[in-house]
Amino acid sequence: MSSKPLDHKDPGRVHGATVLGPGDFPIGSMQSRAAARLRLQKIGEVGKGSSECICFPEDEQPFFRTSEERDLAEGVQCPLHGKRFTPRFHLFVAAWLWENEVKFRWPRLSAQYHKAWAASFPPEL
């Protein structure tokens, strides 16, 4: 039985669980750059903002009316990252402040924030 040494690289053949990377091609070649670009795109897919992620963005932390609402949202875990936001001490929120929050701040918030909010508090509830 003939076995290949571990350092043997065959860029024309993909083995079972292996994926071609930039190191499988000559430095600076088009194939090396394409493999690096593909690897970076896949890293971006798994990070925050991917379709599975339901975390609140770092610069848009949630604003809750009650501590019960905060605790309920804290109980929902992101399938990729686990903890979705950093809980803060809760202070009383007047009704007029919450109305202004929804009226003025919500339209400017990102789609990721709205997706994370919907994961905590589905619209049908």
Q: Tens digits of per-residue pLDDT, 23-32?
A: 777 888 888 7
Whether the pLDDT of residue 16 is over 50: the answer is no
Whether the pLDDT of residue 46 is over 50: the answer is no
pLDDT at 109: 92
Residue 38, judged by CB atoms within 10 A of its CB (0-12, 13-18, 19+), counts as middle
Residue 94, judged by CB atoms within 10 A of its CB (0-12, 13-18, 19+), counts as exposed
pLDDT at 17: 46
Contacts of 14 (CB under 8 A, 6+ apart): 20
Whether the pLDDT of residue 70 is over 70: the answer is yes
Percent of the chain with pLDDT strictly greater than 90 = 22
